[in-house]
Amino acid sequence: MVAQPKQEKLQLNSQNYHSNEANKEYFSVSQFKNMLDCEARAIAEVKGEYIRPPSTALVVGSYTHAAFESDEEFIKFQEESHDSIFKSRGGKYAEFVQADMMIETIKNDPFAMFAMEGEKEQIFTADLFGATWKIKVDSINYQRKTFSDLKTTQSLANRYWSDKYHKYVSFVQAYDYVLQMAIYREVIAKHTGEHFNPYIVAVTKETPPDKAVLHFDASRFDFELEYTANMMERFVRVKSGAEKPIRCDKCAYCRQTKQLNNTFEIEYLLD
C-alpha cells in the first residue's frame, strides 16, 4: 500500500482565521468552550450545519477590539458593520455609544495603554493535548515578554457561581479567561521558548465605565492546563467522529433539532 502524503494544514491569516475550514483543522479556546457548553452544537458549527443568530454583544466586542487594533481597522469595521452600528436616522445605537465611552476610558488611561502596547492580532499555532490549536493575541510585546487581552464586562465586582471551581468567582474565571490565558501562554512558549506573562485589560459597561489591568499568579495555570488536558481526551475523539457528541438539550441548537421519543416524569423539568 502506497503511503499518502501528509496534507499540509491551512496557513492561517486574518481573513481565514474564523473560517469553517480553519475551525475544522484547528482547536481554539472558543471552540473548546463551545464543546464544554454543548458538544452537539459545537460540532454542528464546525461542520457548517448550524450558524448562531447574530449577537449584538459580539458585534460590540469586535467593535471595541477594532478600536485598539488600528485606526484603519476601526474605520473598516464601522463600514462593514454600518447597519448594526448606526441608526437609519443618524447616530449610533445605545450599545455602541456605550462602547465609545469604554474605548475612551481605556485610551485616556496611560497605564492601560501601556499594558496594551505591542504587536496587534498576532496568530500562532501549536500542538497541545493531542490537537493543533490556533490563537489570535490582542497585543504581544516581545521585549517585555508579555501579552494582553482586552475584555469587557458588566462590573468588576460581580460574582458568579462556578460548578467548575465549586465556589463563587469573578468574571475572569466565570468566562474561562484564566483558561484562555493558560492556553495562549503555552502556545506562545512553543514559538518563543519562554512563558510570557499575560494581562487582562478590563473595562466595564457601567456609566461611567470602570477599568483595571489584571495579572495572574502563575500557579493558576497548572489547574487550567490539567483541566483542559482531561477534557481534550474526549473532545478530540468527538471532533474526529470517533464518538457521538452529547447534546445539552438546553441551547437554541438543541431546541431547534430536538426530536421526542419518550415521555418524562415532571421532575425532569427542574434539571
Digitized pLDDT (tens) for each residue of the chain, 271 residues in all? 444 445 678 999 989 999 999 999 999 999 999 999 999 999 999 999 999 888 888 899 999 999 999 899 999 999 999 999 999 888 999 999 999 999 999 999 999 999 999 999 999 999 999 999 999 999 999 999 999 999 999 999 999 999 999 999 999 999 999 999 999 999 999 999 999 999 999 999 999 999 999 999 999 999 999 999 999 999 999 999 999 999 999 999 999 999 999 998 898 888 7
Q: ∠ CA(182), CA(188), CA(189), 5° rounding?
A: 90
CATH for the stretch 20-256: 3.90.320.10
pLDDT the model gives residue 215: 98
pLDDT the model gives residue 222: 96
Give the C-alpha separation, 136 to 140, whole Å: 10
Give the C-alpha separation, 95 to 51, whole Å: 23
pLDDT the model gives residue 7: 62
Cell triple for residue 237?
475523539
pLDDT the model gives residue 4: 46
Give the C-alpha separation, 123 to 13, whole Å: 7
* Sign of the dihedral defined by the CA atoms of residues 43, 129, 220, 64, in that order: negative
| Cβ contacts of 210 within 8 Å, gap of 6 or more | 155, 156, 203, 204
pLDDT the model gives residue 2: 46
